[in-house]
């Protein structure tokens, strides 16, 4: 996930290169403004906003929070901001002093430490009134939110979405549907007001519209040259994650989509020379975005798609426009990360075909076991089914200590050779 | 005391035991990874539930499937499967626990080729009514999956019989813990662990029958003078290697309780033998003391540990878990803090693999016992 801070490693050019200027995405500025306003509201004292704050996992059901006028805050988004601001190591070390193993997820470590010292780029997140944890992305969030529930002494709601190794069955569906009702009762109790089902329909429609627009934006890279890369998607993703179900996200994505279409019409690609097209798997390496982007650009390799940012519209097909609340259980349970390794491999293969990719770059991310374990099998399946080269980068999304620049560069070079 | 030689023999060569059992009974052997496996259903089907703990052999084949940041259980088990050391298995059951086991299930299904594979996607929450209902449906589905996969019918009588046996096993195992708590000199923990390791893979009727006389014999012994050793509670994950029990005892500690899935979590809780048996099984697994990969409240595991320390007059706690075990690593800081408030000191030992751990553990334990 991303934020205004994600591009802090982008140094302003002293001499403006007209070619570079032409390729820049103009909507970036608007995005920064919206995200800044979002965090300013969230950090405004609650007495002034009159709104409660919920911390929620990145794959969690945010729409009911919008209905209840609760401000959703995403510690994972903050983890990304901390990583991109290169503040991860300091906070990870702090969490290790607190007794947390250095092998644990670096988002969790950074967030847990940040709570105690008001750390990170915006001096800590606003304190939660409740915690909403959906384990469709991992088991780690459960443990992480338990830690925060003890620390802040606030209610914790867990949406337990059974992993769909090979199937999503009727027992699972019944269980998650019931929990959605429990979630609403939980919110009604904490907010002290009834749930507005009419408003839910409006928010649901905006969520679906936002997801559809996001997919359309990601699909613009089917064009050659691609008007954007996955590094841009990492940045613009923040909106579908944090403001899903709002008019703000819909309006912004409409303007971003229009800009992408314009770029296509004018033949403007993100890369000056697009020779190879690649798919990225796993979370970004937040503290090396610029570096990695340059490495690939210099080698005329364009990362046209990724499994990560498309995750927020990967299960849109299970949503029923006329019954958002009724269908959200299935949508939230069947996201690609909550499925079997072979289903995840198929997802990549479909992307390779759709975006006509020449290779796949895997980030083997120490912080994220459900995303990373199984990648070796995915490599083999891709080799077998589509016969294109793959690259494995060993790193971590936030903890820079796990990154070896020279090793990664050598591997990228060897990989590009295989594409030739 | 009754001889423990049977257990030592089985433990030395569990694969040979399982293979022999298969030849003699013509039954199937079903591997499993976790104390949440409803063994009663496997036993009822006529198959042998075999807990996979890893042989500790060097990793070579599994490296092509798993990153280095997976725990030694996950890597070791896959290594054993790929190297043919688990060829006697007819299938494997994966109850949903942690992220690593979740992905191991996929990798296992895609690469090992055992005929039967079942994912028991149990609830992660154990403290709500809807989770309880879902747990029942998981148990019911597993019964059907077993029937289909093994080509047999599990009647209610067969299931009841298996539950009776499993309750007998649990009762006798808990008797051994009660003896040790009263008088740690009567049975050393290394022997007790040998019994548990064997118990998780041997014929359950044979097991129940073998445990009875051992428990009875121990109970009949008069208590010797109270131990001078430091009374220690172990907390953490699976720990089958190195033999931590021997090391701790050699350093002057007496283990009086544990919160291990290969120890107390394996036998705690009985299953009601009457009524809706599937529901009863589900209830037992919902109510049993939780593994950290599950949720039963935000303080439940810490409270359990404090309770066990008090009940067993423990002097200290040793946290032992595998390196890269996320659920345990997340719980450790708060549990440590909770017991510190009780004035109970603790040490943490993370096990990476057999060879590198034993020497270090010895040094650390000796220092800890001295401190106590």
Q: Which of A:158-217 have CB within 8 Å of B?
A: 158, 160, 162-163, 165-166, 169, 171-172, 174-175, 178-179, 182
Contact B341, B315 (CB under 8 A): no
Identify the pLDDT of residue A5: 43
Q: What is the CATH number of the domain that holds B110?
A: 3.40.50.11890
Q: Which of B:49-88 have CB within 8 Å of A?
A: 64-67, 69-70
Crossing angle for the helix pair B99-111 and A341-354, to the nearest 10 degrees:
80
Q: Which domain holds residue B107?
A: 5-152
Identify the closest residue of chain B to A181 by CA–CA distance.
Answer: B130
Q: Tell me the average pLDDT across A97-108.
A: 98
Contact A41, A49 (CB under 8 A): yes
Per-residue pLDDT for B361 more than 90?
A: no
Per-residue pLDDT for A48 more than 60?
A: yes
Q: Which of B:94-133 have CB within 8 Å of A?
A: 96-100, 102-107, 109-111, 119, 121, 123-125, 128, 130-131, 133
Lookup result for tokens 């609830």: B123
Residue B236 to residue A175: CA distance in whole angstroms: 30
Q: Is residue B242 part of a domain?
A: no
The band of A3, judged by pLDDT with boundaries at 50, 70 and 90, is: very low
Q: Tell me the average pLDDT across B152-175.
A: 97
Give the tens place of pLDDT for each residue, B224-240.
Answer: 666 789 999 999 987 66
Q: Which of A:121-160 have CB within 8 Å of B?
A: 135, 138-140, 142-144, 146-147, 149-150, 156, 158, 160
Structure tokens at A190: 């904490």
**Whether B298 and A165 lie within 8 Å, measured CB to CB:** no
- For B69, which of A340, A366, A377 is closest by C-beta distance? A366
Per-residue pLDDT for A342 more than 50?
A: yes
Crossing angle for the helix pair A140-152 and A106-117, to the nearest 10 degrees:
10
* Cβ-based contacts of B133 with chain A (< 8 Å): 174-175, 178
**Whether B329 and A104 lie within 8 Å, measured CB to CB:** yes
Give the count of beta carbons closer than 10 Å to the beta carbon of residue A380: 16
Residue A308 to residue A234: CA distance in whole angstroms: 8
Identify the pLDDT of residue B143: 98
User: Helix, strand, or coil here: A395?
Assistant: strand
In chain B, the number of structural domains is 1
Per-residue pLDDT for B260 more than 60?
A: yes
Please enumerate in sequence order all residues whose Cβ is within 8 A of that of A322, keeping only pairs 6 or more positions apart, or say none. Answer: none
Residue A6 to residue A183: CA distance in whole angstroms: 32
Residue A41 to residue A35: CA distance in whole angstroms: 10
* Residue whose C-alpha is closest to residue A368's, from A137, A153, A182, A136: A137
Structure tokens at A144: 């992480």
Structure tokens at B53: 């703990």
Give the tens place of pLDDT for each residue, A142-168.
Answer: 999 999 999 999 999 999 999 999 999
Identify the pLDDT of residue B356: 66
Q: Tell me the average pLDDT across A185-202.
A: 97
Per-residue pLDDT for A235 more than 70?
A: yes
Per-residue pLDDT for A13 more than 60?
A: no
Provide the percentage of residues in chain B whose pLDDT is more than 90. Answer: 84
Q: Which of A:374-413 have CB within 8 Å of B?
A: 374-377, 394
* Cβ-based contacts of B125 with chain A (< 8 Å): 158, 160
* Cβ-based contacts of B123 with chain A (< 8 Å): 160, 162, 175
Identify the pLDDT of residue B222: 75
Identify the pLDDT of residue B355: 64
The band of A6, judged by pLDDT with boundaries at 50, 70 and 90, is: very low
The mean pLDDT of chain A is 95
Residue A224 to residue B274: CA distance in whole angstroms: 68
Identify the pLDDT of residue B240: 64
Say yes or no: B331 contacts chain A, CB-CB below 8 A. Answer: yes
Q: A407 or B243: whose pLDDT is higher?
A: A407
ipTM: 0.96
How is B276-315 classified by DSSP, letter by letter?
Answer: -HHHHHHHHHHHSPPPTTSBS-SSHHHHHHHHHHHHTT-S
Mutate to test the interface with A, among B82, B333, B350 (most CBs of A within 10 A): B333
**Whether A103 and B329 lie within 8 Å, measured CB to CB:** yes
Paired strand residues for B48: B29
Mutate to test the interface with B, among A160, A363, A385 (most CBs of B within 10 A): A160
Q: Which helix (H) or strand (E) holds A361?
A: strand A359-365
Q: Which domain holds residue A412?
A: 4-419
Residue A98 to residue B13: CA distance in whole angstroms: 42
Identify the closest residue of chain B to A162 by CA–CA distance.
Answer: B121
Q: Tell me the average pLDDT across A288-315.
A: 96
Describe the strand order of the beta sheet including A53-56 as a list of residue ranges: A71-73, A53-56, A130-134, A156-159
Give the tens place of pLDDT for each residue, B121-158.
Answer: 999 999 999 999 999 999 999 999 999 999 999 999 99
Residue B337 to residue B362: CA distance in whole angstroms: 24
* Cβ-based contacts of A148 with chain B (< 8 Å): none
Structure tokens at A330: 């299935």
In chain A, the number of structural domains is 1
Q: Is residue B264 part of a domain?
A: no
Identify the pLDDT of residue A1: 43
Give the tens place of pLDDT for each residue, A345-389.
Answer: 999 999 999 999 999 999 999 999 999 999 999 999 999 999 999
Task: Write the burial class of residue B176 (CB in 10 Å: 0-12 exposed, 13-18 middle, 19+ buried).
Answer: buried
Identify the pLDDT of residue A314: 86
Q: Is residue B22 part of a domain?
A: yes
Identify the pLDDT of residue A16: 82
Q: What is the least distance, in Å, from the CA of B109 to any CA of chain A? A: 10
Per-residue pLDDT for B354 more than 90?
A: no
Mutate to test the interface with B, among A143, A144, A156, A362 (most CBs of B within 10 A): A143
What secondary structure letter does DSSP report for A215? H
Please enumerate in sequence order all residues whose Cβ is within 8 A of that of A284, keeping only pairs 6 or more positions apart, or say none. Answer: A2, A80, A231, A234, A308, A363, A397
Q: Tell me the average pLDDT across A123-129.
A: 97
Per-residue pLDDT for A199 more than 70?
A: yes
Give the count of beta carbons closer than 10 Å to the beta carbon of residue A43: 16
How many distinct helices (H) and strands (E) make up chain A?
Answer: 19, 8
Per-residue pLDDT for B116 more than 50?
A: yes
Give the tens place of pLDDT for each residue, B59-105.
Answer: 999 999 999 999 999 999 999 999 999 999 999 999 999 999 999 99
**Whether B134 and A100 lie within 8 Å, measured CB to CB:** no
């Amino acid at each position: 996930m991303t934020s205004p801070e994600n591009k802090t490693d982008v140094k302003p050019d002293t001499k403006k290169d007209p070619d570079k200027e032409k390729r820049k995405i103009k909507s970036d500025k608007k995005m920064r403004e919206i995200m800044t306003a979002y965090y300013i509201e969230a950090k405004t004292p609650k007495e002034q906003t009159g709104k409660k704050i919920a911390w929620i996992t990145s794959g969690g059901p945010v729409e009911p929070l919008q209905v209840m006028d609760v401000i959703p805050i995403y510690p994972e988004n903050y983890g990304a901001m901390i990583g991109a601001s290169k503040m991860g190591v300091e906070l990870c070390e702090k969490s290790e002093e607190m007794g947390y193993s250095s092998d644990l997820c670096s988002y969790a470590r950074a967030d847990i430490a940040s709570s105690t010292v008001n750390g990170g780029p915006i001096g800590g997140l606003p304190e939660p009134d409740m915690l909403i944890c959906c384990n469709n992305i991992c088991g780690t969030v459960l443990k992480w939110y338990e830690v925060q529930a003890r620390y802040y002494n606030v209610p914790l709601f867990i949406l337990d979405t059974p992993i769909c190794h090979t199937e999503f069955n009727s027992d699972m569906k019944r269980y998650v549907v019931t929990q959605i009702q429990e979630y609403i009762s939980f919110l009604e109790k904490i907010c002290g007001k009834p749930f507005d089902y009419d408003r839910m329909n409006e928010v649901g429609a905006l969520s679906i519209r936002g997801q559809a627009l996001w997919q359309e934006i990601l699909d613009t890279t089917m064009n050659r040259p691609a008007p954007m890369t996955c590094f841009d998607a990492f940045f613009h993703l923040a909106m579908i994650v944090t403001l899903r179900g709002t008019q703000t996200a819909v309006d912004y994505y409409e303007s971003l989509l229009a800009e992408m279409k314009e770029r296509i019409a004018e033949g403007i690609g993100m890369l000056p020379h697009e020779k190879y097209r690649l798919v990225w798997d796993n979370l970004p390496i937040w503290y090396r975005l610029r570096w990695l982007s340059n490495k690939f650009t210099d080698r005329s390799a364009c990362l046209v798609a990724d499994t990560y940012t498309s995750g927020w519209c990967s299960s849109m097909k299970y949503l029923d426009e006329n019954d958002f609340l009724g269908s959200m259980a299935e949508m939230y349970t069947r996201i690609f990360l909550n499925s079997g390794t072979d289903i995840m491999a198929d997802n990549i293969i479909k992307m390779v075909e759709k975006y006509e990719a020449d290779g796949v770059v895997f980030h083997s991310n120490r912080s994220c076991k459900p995303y990373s374990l199984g990648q070796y099998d995915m490599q083999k399946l891709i080799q077998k089914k589509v016969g294109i080269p793959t690259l494995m980068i060993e790193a971590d999304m936030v903890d820079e200590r796990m990154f070896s620049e020279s090793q990664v560069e050598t591997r990228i070079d060897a990989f590009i050779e295989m594409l030739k | 005391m009754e001889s423990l030689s049977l257990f030592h023999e089985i433990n030395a060569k569990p694969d040979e035991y399982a293979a022999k059992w298969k030849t003699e009974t013509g039954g199937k052997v079903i591997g499993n990874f976790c104390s949440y496996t409803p063994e009663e259903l496997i036993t009822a089907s006529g198959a042998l539930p075999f807990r996979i703990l890893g042989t500790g052999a060097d990793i070579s084949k599994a490296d092509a499937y798993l990153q280095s940041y997976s725990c030694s259980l996950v890597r070791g088990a896959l290594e054993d499967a790929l190297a043919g050391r688990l060829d006697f298995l007819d299938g494997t059951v994966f109850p949903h626990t942690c992220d690593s086991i979740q992905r191991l299930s996929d990798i296992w299904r895609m690469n090992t080729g055992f005929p039967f594979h079942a994912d028991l996607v149990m609830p992660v929450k154990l403290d709500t009514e809807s989770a309880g209902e879902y747990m029942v449906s998981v148990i019911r589905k597993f019964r059907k999956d077993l029937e289909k996969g093994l080509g047999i019918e599990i009647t209610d009588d067969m299931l009841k019989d298996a539950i009776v046996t499993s309750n007998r096993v649990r009762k006798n195992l808990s008797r051994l813990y009660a003896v040790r708590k009263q008088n740690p000199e009567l049975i050393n923990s290394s022997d007790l662990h040998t019994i548990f390791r064997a118990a998780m893979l041997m014929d359950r009727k044979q097991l129940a029958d073998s445990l009875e006389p051992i428990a009875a014999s121990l109970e009949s012994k008069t208590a010797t003078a109270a131990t001078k050793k430091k009374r220690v509670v172990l907390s953490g994950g699976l720990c089958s290697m190195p033999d931590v029990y021997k090391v701790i005892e050699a350093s002057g500690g007496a283990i009086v309780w544990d919160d291990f899935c290969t120890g107390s979590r394996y036998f705690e809780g009985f299953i009601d033998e009457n009524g809706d048996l599937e529901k009863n099984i589900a209830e037992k697994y919902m109510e049993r003391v939780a593994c950290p990969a599950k949720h039963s409240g935000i303080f439940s595991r810490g409270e359990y540990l404090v309770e066990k320390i008090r009940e067993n007059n423990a002097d200290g706690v040793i946290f032992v878990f595998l390196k890269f075990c996320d659920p345990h690593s997340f719980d450790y800081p708060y549990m440590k803090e909770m017991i510190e408030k009780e004035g109970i000191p603790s040490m943490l030992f993370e096990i990476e693999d057999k060879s590198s751990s034993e020497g270090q553990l010895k040094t650390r334990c000796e220092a800890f016992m001295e401190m106590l």
